[in-house]
Structure formats: C-alpha cells, structure tokens
Amino acid sequence: MFSHVHFAAAAAWLLLAIIGLAWTMACALTAAKMEKEGFAFRKGFVAVLLLSPLAGLIAIFIARILRPGRPLAHTVSRG
C-alpha cells in the first residue's frame, strides 16, 4: 500500500463497501419476496434499491391486504 494513504481511510472505504454489499443483499431479498407477491423482480429491486428495503416490505404488506382471499371452495376440506 502507498505510504500516503492513511489506514483509517482504507478502513473507511472497506466499511462503506461492506455496508453497500449488505444493502444490496437486503434489497435483493426484499425484491425476491415482492416477486412472490406478484411484482416483477427487476422493478421491485430498482424500487427497493432507490427507496429502502422497508418501503418494499410496506409494499408487500399493502399487496397482501389488497389481494383477494382464496375462495371458500379451496378452504373447505372434504374428509
């Protein structure tokens, strides 16, 4: 490493890279959950990446509320 680069600066850049990777992973997990709820993965990932994973979780919650429930024929067991 160069002598003029301070150790704290290198540590700060490494920390920012780790935080960015963690943010991207949280966004990908939230987008995967959104895909199961009917959103496209790419649109969900971009939206969550720009806003926050919390906004994606709120969108999933709203989608579950607005989605109609299963018909009674599927809930009744025949036995």
In a domain, 59, yes or no: yes
- Provide φ and ψ at 57, rounded to 5°: -65, -35
Let me know if residue 58 belongs to a domain: yes
- Domain total for the chain? 1
The model's pTM: 0.67
Q: Please check whether residue 27 lies inside any domain of the structure.
A: yes
What does DSSP assign to residue 60?
H
What single-letter DSSP state applies at residue 43? H
In a domain, 79, yes or no: no
For the segment 27-72, what is each residue's pLDDT rounded down to a tens digit?
Answer: 999 999 888 888 888 988 888 888 888 888 888 888 888 776 656 5
Q: Is residue 25 part of a domain?
A: yes
Residues spanned by the domain of 57: 19-65
Determine the pLDDT at residue 20: 93
Cα–Cα distances in angstroms (integers) from residue 27 to residues 6, 36, 54, 60, in the given order:
32, 14, 9, 13
